[in-house]
Amino acid sequence: MLENHKKVLIVGAGFSGAVIARSLAEAGHKVSVIDSRDHVAGNCHTYRDEKTDIMVHKYGPHIFHTDNETVWEYINRFGEMMPYVNRVKAITGNRVYSLPINLHTINQFFSKTLNPNDAKAFIEAQADKSIGEPKTFEEQALHFVGKPLYEAFFKYYTIKQWGTEPSNLPASILNRLPVRFNYDDNYFNHKYQGIPKNGYTSIVENILNHQNIDLKLETEYFEEIKGEFDHMVWSGALDAYFDHQFGRLAYRTLDFEPFYGEGDVQGNAVVNYCDEQVPYTRITEHKHFAPWEEHSESICYKEYSRACGKEDTPYYPIRLMNDKQLLQRYLNMAEQSDGVTFVGRLGTYRYLDMDVTIKEALETAQALLYSFKKDEKPAAFYQAVI
């Protein structure tokens, strides 16, 4: 080992931890990655179901989409990405529509045959223009699509998903979804979209497969271990790092109810259930994420969202006003902590897509390498967190 090479501990073997580990390892540093689970890839983990041999997205549907060339090249370096376009169906009021809201959705919902310009004018007439700059999810929806579409597609799905009224949620959550006045029903606007042929877990295993990386699964972090390393990267929950001393940051967790079927159960990978009286948010039929494979049987997951308890897996950071104040206290603590950098969805308490996670991890790794080289103290965060 060269003299200026560091020993780095990375807690968490999801995309953040793995990508940072790889960059540091390639620069000659010695990296230990630990994860409390028995698999890598965090919530992107995929496995082959024993009964059907279908690749299952264990923690819910993950479709890779990005505009970022570097990120796309990076993921393709570690596994074959198959072309895949996510087309979601949504059931509301006992009828099936396509999502995101597009010309077909609008025409079907209102029983019309509008062209793009007329549809735009029609929706604009329904939109609540008294709302200036929309701040909340509800204002954003009423401002852009008006009340009937908001109530049919967004209001109750969002209450089920987030456990709170859309008026309490930030507009940024709705901004994830496009609204289109043509017949394009691609769920994403990004240039690149795909699903890994051999699953996300295989990609993360390949990222971690380097002589300078030592991976230990089913290994809990304990404070004393930190002393054995020059630096630590924490991709676990930010509040967990501080033993939840100010209280718990709020997350939603998901429960999946698997069921089997023959042939084609629902005809699509994802069907959303937007009605209030249906307790689940969506059903995922996993084999449709791999249309290049053939399976006579099928495995589906019914997805339910609820508040994340102490023993549950955290999925979505909620980020209501109270959470932001609490978050600020933890951020202050983190800034004052020596020898640790916080990364990723849990470490920075943000709703991150996979491509953003990889982009930030690559940037964080570069920043860490620079600090190591200059013998400067690495920062606690390399992203704007609030």
- Residues making contact with ligand UDP (CB under 6 A): 90, 99, 153-154, 157-158, 161, 173-174, 176-177, 272, 274
Minimum CB–partner distance for residue 129 and ligand UDP (Å): 22
| Distances 266 to 194, 236, 303, 318, 345 between C-alpha atoms, Å | 21, 36, 15, 30, 31
Minimum CB–partner distance for residue 136 and ligand UDP (Å): 12
Minimum CB–partner distance for residue 379 and ligand UDP (Å): 28
Q: Could you count the other beta carbons within 10 Å of the beta carbon of residue 375?
A: 7
Rg (CA), the chain: 22
Instruction: Report how far residue 195's alpha carbon sits from residue 376's, in angstroms, rounded to the nearest whole number.
Output: 39
Q: Could you count the other beta carbons within 10 Å of the beta carbon of residue 94?
A: 6
Minimum CB–partner distance for residue 253 and ligand UDP (Å): 12
Q: CA 208, 213, 214: angle at the middle one, nearest 5?
A: 105
Taking the least distance from each CB to ligand UDP, the nearer of 21 and 63 is 63
CB 213 within 8 A of CB 31: yes
Residues 6 or more apart in contact with residue 356 via CB below 8 angstroms: none
Minimum CB–partner distance for residue 153 and ligand UDP (Å): 5
Task: Please provide the DSSP assignment of 110-177 as one string.
Answer: TT----HHHHHHHHHHHS-TT-SS--BHHHHHHHHT-HHHIIIIIIHHHHHHHSS-GGGSBHHHHTTS
Taking the least distance from each CB to ligand UDP, the nearer of 74 and 273 is 273
Q: CA 204, 210, 211: angle at the middle one, nearest 5?
A: 155
Taking the least distance from each CB to ligand UDP, the nearer of 29 and 160 is 160
Give the tokens for residue 348.
Answer: 């920075």
Instruction: Report how far residue 45's alpha carbon sits from residue 364's, in angstroms, rounded to the nearest whole number.
Output: 23
Taking the least distance from each CB to ligand UDP, the nearer of 75 and 141 is 141
CA dihedral 73, 74, 78, 84 (to 10 degrees): -60
Instruction: Report how far residue 52's alpha carbon sits from residue 315's, in angstroms, rounded to the nearest whole number.
Output: 27
**Sequence letter at residue 200:** Y
Question: Catalytic site residues?
Answer: 176, 180, 252, 282, 303, 351, 353
Identify which of 6, 25, 23 has the alpha carbon closest to the alpha carbon of residue 374. Answer: 6
Taking the least distance from each CB to ligand UDP, the nearer of 33 and 171 is 171
Relative to beta strand 55-57, strand 251-262 is unpaired
Taking the least distance from each CB to ligand UDP, the nearer of 78 and 154 is 154
Minimum CB–partner distance for residue 272 and ligand UDP (Å): 4
Minimum CB–partner distance for residue 116 and ligand UDP (Å): 22
Residue entry with tokens 């589906």: 300
Taking the least distance from each CB to ligand UDP, the nearer of 23 and 158 is 158
Taking the least distance from each CB to ligand UDP, the nearer of 74 and 188 is 188
Minimum CB–partner distance for residue 333 and ligand UDP (Å): 28
